[in-house]
Amino acid sequence: MSASADATVYDVAVIGGGVVGCAVARLLSHHELDVVVVEAGPDVGAGTSKANTAILHTGFDATPGTLEARLVARGYALLREYAPTVGISIEEVGALLVAWDDEQAAALASLAAKAASNGYTQTEIVDGDAVYDFEPHLGEGATGGMLVPDEHIIDPWSTPLAFAYEALANDASVLLNRRVVQCQVGDDLTTLITTSGQQIRTRFTVNAAGLYGDELHRTLGLDGFTIRPRRGELIVFDKLSRPLLNRTVLPVPTSTTKGVLVAPTVFGNVMLGPTADDVDDKTATGSTRSGIDSLLDKGRRILPALLDEEVTSVYAGLRAATEHSDYQISHERRLRYVCLGGIRSTGLTSSMALAEEALLRLIDCGLVAQPKDKFNSIQMTPLGEIDERPYQRSGQIVCHCERVTVGEVAAACVAAVPAVDFDGLRRRTRALAGRCQGFYCQAELCSLTGWSVAL
């Protein structure tokens, strides 16, 4: 990471180091451009990107004709191809959308038709008996279902990290702990001003500021969308529950939400969620009693045996929802500015397509993007349960629940964007993400990292 020398003039500044911003920076870094990611927090992928249902969406249920439908479908193809090449775990589990009454069963045909109009034709409608053949542990009352065989699961934390690492490997910069509060657009240069008064000069600007995208948009004198965070709470169950489920079990979506799903994770857990509550506070990432209880209620009906298992973690994320039902993507030539706003939970899947979209719009704003003759690739340590993990070869395990080695912890602390706290370590290695939540290894991890639980 280069220091933020005031003299530096970047070609493109990407504001926001979430999965979208990092994907944009990665693609731009494949071109002869000086690229910088300006992130408000101490780490990349640590805002709204970190609390995600971790589904690699086919986009089968998107609203046909929307930007989201197109970019999710395109992003799916790109990410599915990219992930295995860099070590981002994908598990090809597929999904089963389950109807729990006759009305929902009747809606399956129209969902299949909707999928087809989104270009996804692999769905298959099955009867209630077949549902139990596929998922024998489901609760009573399923009347039918629809298989979505390509709706897979992915490691949501390694994805933005891989993008960032690759961008850095190709000479992009990442500036952390810099919240942009003002953008002064001049004739050729835009000056970004951070909360601490620091100035970052750039020719072009991409807004990938997630939950704060609307505020950034307004600092440029633009309008058009307001982000009202939609909180999603999730419960992750012990890995011993994984045999209860073969694939992701989806509900029939309503007009307002995709509903509560039960999904395996690539790490070998089972996840239940999310809730969907509109909140006003963009930092309200706490879980709630009512949220947890409502998830348990739903989980008990969908997969009763799941409730007998221990809970490994509970967390909540905020989706960057707006008053609109589609992504809010726009660009302003006079401001040399591209806005990737209102990217909701599908942003993980669509991130690489959003990067393509951003590049096209930057070019339309006048950016000259000359592809590099060659660029560097990177390699992550895959964290999936079905991947080979370092402990299987050698190394002393420090986190026994997730089988994380001392070497992996050390590597995370000196990564291209290093882990700077236990949350960052958890996302990079899985350490502390397991069933004991640090009962056994918290103290040892403090010793290894030099970090404190007392701040």
Partner 1 sequence: MQSDRLERGTVTSTTGRRVVIVGAGPAGLSAAIALRRLGVQHVTVHEREQQAGGIPRHTDHLGFGMRDLHRVMSGPRYARALIDRATAAGVQLRLGSPLFSLDDVDADAIVLATGARERPRSARLVPGDRPIGILTTGSLQQLALKGLPVGGRAVIVGAEHVSFSAIFTLAHVGCRTLAMVTPLPRHQSYAVLKLAAATVRRVPVLTGVDIAEITGRRRVESVTLTDGRRIECDTVVFTGSWIPDNELARRSGLRIDPVVNGPVVDDSFRTSRDNIFAIGNLVHRVAAADRCALDGRAVAALVVGHFRD
Residue from 9, 193, 240, 307 touching partner 1 (CB under 8 A): that is 240
- Among 31-39, 131-139, 250-258, 396-404, which window interacts with partner 1 (CB under 8 A)? 396-404
Residue from 291, 299, 384, 424 touching partner 1 (CB under 8 A): that is 291
Q: Does 314 interact with partner 1 (rule: CB under 8 A)?
A: yes
CB of 310 to partner 1, least distance (A): 5
Question: Judged by CB, which is closer to partner 1: 117, or 294?
Answer: 294
Residue from 202, 422, 427, 429 touching partner 1 (CB under 8 A): that is 422
For residue 312, which phi and psi values (nearest 5 degrees)? -90, -40
CB of 162 to partner 1, least distance (A): 24
Q: Give, as ranges, the residues between 60 and 99 that touch partner 1 (CB under 8 A).
A: none
- Report yes or no: 389 and 87 within 8 Å, Cβ to Cβ: no
Angstrom distance (rounded) from CA 180 to CA 216: 8
Number of residues that bind partner 1 (CB under 8 A): 39
The token pair at 49 is 């990107």
For residue 437, which phi and psi values (nearest 5 degrees)? 55, 35
- Report yes or no: 171 and 129 within 8 Å, Cβ to Cβ: no
CA dist list (Å): 308 to 235, 313, 355: 13, 15, 42
Question: Judged by CB, which is closer to partner 1: 219, or 288?
Answer: 288
CB of 343 to partner 1, least distance (A): 23
Q: Does 311 interact with partner 1 (rule: CB under 8 A)?
A: yes
Q: Does 289 interact with partner 1 (rule: CB under 8 A)?
A: yes
Question: Judged by CB, which is closer to partner 1: 181, or 296?
Answer: 296
Q: Does 400 interact with partner 1 (rule: CB under 8 A)?
A: yes
Question: Judged by CB, which is closer to partner 1: 108, or 318?
Answer: 318
Q: Does 405 interact with partner 1 (rule: CB under 8 A)?
A: no
Q: Does 182 interact with partner 1 (rule: CB under 8 A)?
A: no
The token pair at 11 is 């070609």
CB of 279 to partner 1, least distance (A): 13
Q: Where does residue 358 fall: left (phi above 0), alpha (psi -120 to 50 degrees), or beta otherwise? A: alpha
In the block, residue with structure tokens 């000196």: 414
**Residue 4 CB partners (closer than 8 Å, separation 6+):** 175, 178, 198, 200
- Among 20-28, 66-74, 156-164, 308-316, which window interacts with partner 1 (CB under 8 A)? 308-316
Residue from 310, 323, 364, 388 touching partner 1 (CB under 8 A): that is 310
Q: Does 275 interact with partner 1 (rule: CB under 8 A)?
A: no
Residue from 286, 297, 333, 368 touching partner 1 (CB under 8 A): that is 286
- Report yes or no: 350 and 78 within 8 Å, Cβ to Cβ: no
* DSSP conformational letter for 241: G
Question: Judged by CB, which is closer to partner 1: 110, or 452?
Answer: 452
SS (H, E, C) 159-201: HHHHHHHHHHHCCCEEECCCCEEEEEECCCCEEEEECCCCEEE
Question: Judged by CB, which is closer to partner 1: 75, or 438?
Answer: 438
Question: Judged by CB, which is closer to partner 1: 348, or 420?
Answer: 420
Q: Does 322 interact with partner 1 (rule: CB under 8 A)?
A: no
Question: Judged by CB, which is closer to partner 1: 333, or 439?
Answer: 439
- Report yes or no: 171 and 183 within 8 Å, Cβ to Cβ: no
- According to DSSP, the β-strands at 35-38 and 173-175 are parallel
Residue from 249, 262, 438, 449 touching partner 1 (CB under 8 A): that is 438
Nearest to 339 by CA among 176, 204, 154: 204
Q: Does 453 interact with partner 1 (rule: CB under 8 A)?
A: yes
Residue from 118, 123, 190, 285 touching partner 1 (CB under 8 A): that is 285
Query: Largest alpha-carbon pair distance within the chain?
Result: 68
Residue from 315, 369, 407, 415 touching partner 1 (CB under 8 A): that is 315
CA dist list (Å): 452 to 42, 327, 329, 421, 445: 16, 40, 41, 9, 9
Q: Cα-atom radius of gyration of the chain, to the nearest Å?
A: 22
- Report yes or no: 10 and 201 within 8 Å, Cβ to Cβ: yes
Residue from 203, 282, 331, 435 touching partner 1 (CB under 8 A): that is 435
Burial of 432 (0-12, 13-18, 19+ CB in 10 A): buried
- Report yes or no: 337 and 207 within 8 Å, Cβ to Cβ: yes
Residue from 292, 318, 353, 378 touching partner 1 (CB under 8 A): that is 292
Which helix (H) or strand (E) is 318 found in, with range? strand 311-319
Question: Judged by CB, which is closer to partner 1: 289, or 393?
Answer: 289
Residues near partner 1 (CB under 8 A): 239-240, 283, 285-289, 291-292, 296, 308, 310-315, 396-397, 400, 403, 421-422, 435-440, 442-444, 446-447, 452-455
